[in-house]
């Protein structure tokens, strides 16, 4: 047991005083010294090594009283109290309080039976407030997430720009958007058009017309397999960056995405890099006068299959 405050201190020859304080070791968290008040002759610091036995109200030392008198005097300035220092867990190791310190339990609290009930009632009340809010809050936050798809045709330019076969030509166009409460605004977008040779057309269509469906599965347009103009969404199917028509040292002229270096040929097929699928074809129509129109579509990037999101 640990020495208690006020315990009498007995040396091998006689009683020398009482324990007035204890000193803790900050690393081992054990009592390292006793401070003994020497019956009016000052205080001495006695190491625990000198203690032979401890009982309820008595500390028996191995040393003689004269040896204790010769020990280091206690200097309060060298110490801080337990309350003035932060040494985690130190309190747990001391059991030297002279006894329990008590405060009366309030009269009203003494026979309350349903403490658990009241505690649970608090949680239930919280749930009653919180749960009904989940749905409205989620709906509130989700309002703009799923916009309907727009299948309107957009004029983007004239085929006069496209002189060379099987070369990517960028068409920039402006698209009007009306977002929520904002004024109508224009954003700049682009698509890549290719005037395709029969070989490239065959690669793209493989003998079949390409049908585009709306959200409910009805056909909205068919790209005929013999129309030599291809339109690719400007968004790289890898992670959505914007690719360009560039010269490659080995592969010649290719579509190259500068983000993660996906490379596609003029038919949109993946030649190299991390892209999971070919470039996304868009519905395209060219009028007799050479005016090009497209339906602006965007697809989710990074998937093998196409999922339209715009």
Name the site residues for another protein (rule: CB under 8 A). 25-28, 80, 83-89, 141-142, 144-147, 172, 177, 179-180, 182-183, 185, 187-190, 234-235, 238-242, 258-261, 273-276, 298, 300-304, 309-310
**Least distance to another protein from the beta carbon of 114, Å?**
33
Cα atoms in the 13 Å half-sphere on the side-chain side of 5: 11
Distance, in Å, from the CA atom of 181 to the CA atom of 192, rounded to the nearest integer, reads: 32
**Least distance to another protein from the beta carbon of 282, Å?**
14
Residue 33 vs 189, nearer CB to another protein: 189
Distance, in Å, from the CA atom of 262 to the CA atom of 275, rounded to the nearest integer, reads: 6
**Least distance to another protein from the beta carbon of 29, Å?**
11
DSSP state of 297: -
Burial of residue 245 (CB within 10 Å: 0-12, 13-18, 19+) is middle
- Pair 237, 304: CB distance under 8 Å: no
**Least distance to another protein from the beta carbon of 183, Å?**
7
Residue 74 vs 171, nearer CB to another protein: 171
Count of Cβ atoms closer than 10 Å to residue 298 Cβ = 16
Residue 12 vs 172, nearer CB to another protein: 172
Residue 6 vs 161, nearer CB to another protein: 161
**Least distance to another protein from the beta carbon of 7, Å?**
27
Maximum distance among all Cα pairs of the chain, rounded to whole angstroms: 124
Residue 65 vs 262, nearer CB to another protein: 262
Distance, in Å, from the CA atom of 293 to the CA atom of 297, rounded to the nearest integer, reads: 12
Residue 123 vs 181, nearer CB to another protein: 181
**Least distance to another protein from the beta carbon of 158, Å?**
19
Burial of residue 276 (CB within 10 Å: 0-12, 13-18, 19+) is middle
- Pair 246, 256: CB distance under 8 Å: yes
Residue 29 vs 158, nearer CB to another protein: 29
Structure tokens of 60?
């028996």
**Least distance to another protein from the beta carbon of 175, Å?**
8
- Pair 297, 154: CB distance under 8 Å: no
**Distances from the Cα of 52 to the Cαs of 17, 45, 83, 225, in angstroms?**
16, 16, 30, 104
Distance, in Å, from the CA atom of 173 to the CA atom of 191, rounded to the nearest integer, reads: 8
Residue 49 vs 207, nearer CB to another protein: 49
**Least distance to another protein from the beta carbon of 237, Å?**
10
């Amino acid at each position: 047991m640990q020495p208690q405050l006020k315990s009498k201190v007995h040396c091998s020859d006689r009683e020398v005083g009482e324990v007035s304080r204890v000193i803790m070791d900050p690393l081992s968290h054990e009592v390292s010294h006793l401070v003994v008040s020497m019956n009016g002759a000052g205080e001495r610091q006695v190491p625990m090594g000198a203690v032979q036995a401890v009982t309820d109200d008595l500390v028996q030392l191995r040393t003689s009283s004269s040896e204790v008198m010769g020990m280091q005097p206690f200097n309060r300035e060298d110490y801080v109290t337990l309350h003035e220092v932060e040494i985690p867990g130190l309190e747990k190791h001391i059991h030297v309080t002279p006894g329990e310190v008590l405060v009366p339990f309030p009269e009203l609290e003494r026979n309350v039976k349903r403490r658990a009930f009241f505690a649970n009632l608090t949680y239930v009340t919280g749930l009653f407030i919180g749960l009904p809010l989940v749905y409205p809050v989620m709906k509130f936050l989700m309002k703009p997430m799923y916009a309907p798809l727009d299948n309107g045709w957009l004029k983007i330019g004239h085929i006069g720009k496209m002189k060379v076969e099987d070369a990517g030509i960028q068409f920039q166009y402006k698209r009007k958007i009306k977002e929520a409460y904002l004024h109508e605004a224009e954003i700049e977008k682009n698509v890549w058009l290719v005037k395709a040779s029969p070989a490239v057309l065959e690669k793209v269509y493989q003998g079949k017309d390409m049908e585009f469906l709306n959200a409910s599965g009805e056909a909205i347009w068919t790209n005929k397999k013999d129309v030599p103009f291809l339109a690719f969404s400007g968004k790289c199917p890898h992670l959505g960056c914007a690719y360009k028509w560039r010269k490659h040292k080995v592969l010649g002229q290719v579509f190259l995405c500068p983000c993660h270096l996906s490379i596609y040929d003029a038919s949109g097929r993946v030649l190299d890099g991390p892209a999971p699928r070919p470039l996304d074809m868009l519905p395209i129509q060219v009028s007799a006068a050479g005016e090009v129109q497209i339906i602006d579509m965007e697809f989710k990037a990074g998937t093998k299959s196409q999922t339209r999101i715009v």
